[in-house]
Amino acid sequence: MNRHEWEDLPSPVRREVETKCGPVVKAESATVGANSDFSATLHTAKKVFFCKGATVASDKVRMHRREALVNEWLPRLAPRLLWRVEMDGWLLLGFECAAGHHADLSPGSPDLPFIADALTTMARELTPCPPIAVPALADQWARFVPWRRTAHEPPADLDPWVRENLSTLVEWESRTVDLVAGASLIHTDLHSLNILVGDEARVIDWAWSRQGPSWVDTAFFTIRLIDAGHTIEDAQGWANAISVWDGVPDEARTAFAVAVTGLWEHRTREDPQPFRVKLTNAARKLAQYLLERS
């Protein structure tokens, strides 16, 4: 993670930030996250802010522009965007600093009820999608069909179960585009680092926001629970208690799991970091479980 420190920012940029928040007496660089060129907690004499951003020449700047665009429409569980600075080749966003610890997703975690409440709030308050230009998840997935690509030229080290069931995976993938068409604003990147838990769950980092069905974030999160050690049955039972998920047809659940597995298989081959391998294995396990019961 090659990230700039506060002192690395151009002096005019730092001065402009301080006109928004006051003189910075301490800047604590973030130790997690990979989507920003700068990310730090800024301490002033009166208040603490969270600031992140990217150089305008970076591919990451597009995500920051999207996060700035959607913020005013988000429920209060998302920290408010207080100011933005764009000058000298930088875009920086200043947010209220949310208290709390990164969510514990392990079985029996006391954080899980707070997360269920947050998912319920997101589905309710972000349906219909606000009148802003965010990409549609269905359009994105229609352009990228990893199982079809894999079937065209299967890698030699392909998982045996995947190789045996490639035609089935391609067929289910083809159903997904229609099933993920929807009219809600969705996060699409919920994981432990993007949820801060105190008296409630606060959801941060909306850079990957999309338009799609309100149940998608719960579907993604079910895989995260399996990755965190939950059995498939327990993860699904937890999700079923969330009203927006309880009524999702079995076909949509299965097609979604198949499509996500394909996407993550592809990303893991491009960047085989251990956390990607583990998460992809969880998605594949869920897809196999649901296909066997379809």
| Across 177-187, average pLDDT | 96
| Across 160-182, average pLDDT | 96
Length of the chain: 294
Give the pTM.
0.95
Amino acid (1-letter code) at residue 185: L
Strands lying side by side in the sheet with 90-96: 24-29, 38-44, 48-55, 90-96, 81-87
Tokens of 36: 């920003």
Residue % of the chain over a pLDDT of 90: 96
Q: What is the dihedral of CA 160, 161, 165, 170, to 10 degrees?
A: -90
| Across 139-146, average pLDDT | 94
Tokens of 30: 């973030």
pLDDT score, position 34: 75
Helix (H, G, I), strand (E, B) or coil at 258: helix
- Residue 166 is inside which H or E element, if any? helix 166-179
In 3D, which of 179, 182, 201, 200 has the Cα closest to residue 190?
A: 201
| Residue 230 DSSP class | -
